[in-house]
Amino acid sequence: MTHKVKWGVLGFARIAKLEAIPAILRSANSELYAVASGDPQKREECAQMFPDAKLYGSYDDLLADPDVQAVYVPLPNSLHKEWAIKAMRQGNTCYARSR
């Protein structure tokens, strides 16, 4: 059996919802483990679309979860550095995509 990387996603932006998360779900060695959003409506939408994902109300709470192994940062470019550094300090692999 293939080991699956547990992904956490910081935010539920359009790119996360329509591109990154579906790609994670299609991958044989990846698992959508958690999503963080400070917006309760986006968390509810995420829960409806991806009911198996753990949901967090803050990015810091997601990064503190010891089971998160890799983090996708679909935030505005100006926030990539800050959140990529925070993710890596927690020991996570980090991927931030420029738009």
Give the pLDDT confidence of 71-86 residue by residue, as tens digits.
999 998 898 888 888 8
Predicted confidence band of residue 89 (pLDDT cuts 50, 70, 90): confident
- What is each CA distance from 31 to 1, 40, 78, 79, 97, in whole angstroms? 14, 23, 27, 24, 19
Return the H-helix or E-strand segment holding 59. Answer: helix 59-64
Give the pLDDT confidence of 16-71 residue by residue, as tens digits.
999 999 999 999 999 999 999 999 999 999 999 999 999 999 999 999 999 999 99
Provide the residue ranges of all domains of the chain, joining segments of one domain with +. 5-96
Give the mean pLDDT of 2-7.
89
Q: Are 25 and 5 in contact (CB under 8 A)?
A: no
CATH T-level topology, domain 5-96 = Rossmann fold (3.40.50)
Q: pTM for this structure?
A: 0.89
Please give the structure tokens belonging to residue 40: 């309760």
pLDDT of 14 higher than 90: yes
Please give the structure tokens belonging to residue 58: 């803050």
